[in-house]
Amino acid sequence: MIELYIGGCRSGKSSAALQRANRMGVNRKLFLATCQPHDAEMRARVERHQQERDAGWETVEEPLDIAGIIRQHSRPQTVILVDCLTLWLTNLIVGEADDMAIKQHITLLQEALSGAPGPVLLVANEVGLGIVPDNAMSRRFRDWAGSLNQRIARCASEVILTVAGIPIPIKSLTRANLQEDE
């Protein structure tokens, strides 16, 4: 089971994914953090996110090889929450990955998700609702974020858009399959 939680910045997507993961009856909860806190403000944000998780959560910090972590840790009774794909993409771009390398990382992530025996919840920002950025790097980031979100949404059985703290299901294979059976 793959679920994608997507929305704007501060829309409540991380909280919605965390609440969903906490409701799952699993033996292990793994938080896969992609953020690299380079300054005091970002470290404070990370600490606030950490305080939202109870002691039952393990944290793995991995800015680049999230596919490897998913392959290594996914089990039927383990939920993995990846927060967030957008920062992961930023890490790749800032790390000077070229377009072929980024595409390969996304493909490896898709393969890891398709082979994951346990539930994986992923958080991503929707960045395509604003104006066209005025510089090439920002447009490259926006274009890759849109492509990444589309590719992961295709892998996901559930896609939940969060707006103003309200999770709105926009794709549900479970519900679609149930409706087809009726």
Classify residue 53 as exposed, middle or buried by CB count within 10 Å of its CB (0-12, 13-18, 19+).
middle
Q: Name the nearest CA neighbour of 133 among 151, 148, 146, 152.
A: 146
Q: Are 80 and 70 in contact (CB under 8 A)?
A: yes
Contacts of 57 (CB under 8 A, 6+ apart): 29, 30, 31
- Preceding amide of 9 cis, omega within 30: no
The Cα 15–Cα 12 span in angstroms is 5
Beta bridge partners of 100: none
- Known catalytic residue: 105? no
- The DSSP H or E segment spanning 59 is strand 57-61
Cα 11 to Cα 8, 16, 34, 105, 126, distances in angstroms: 5, 10, 19, 26, 10
Q: Which residues are catalytic?
A: 49
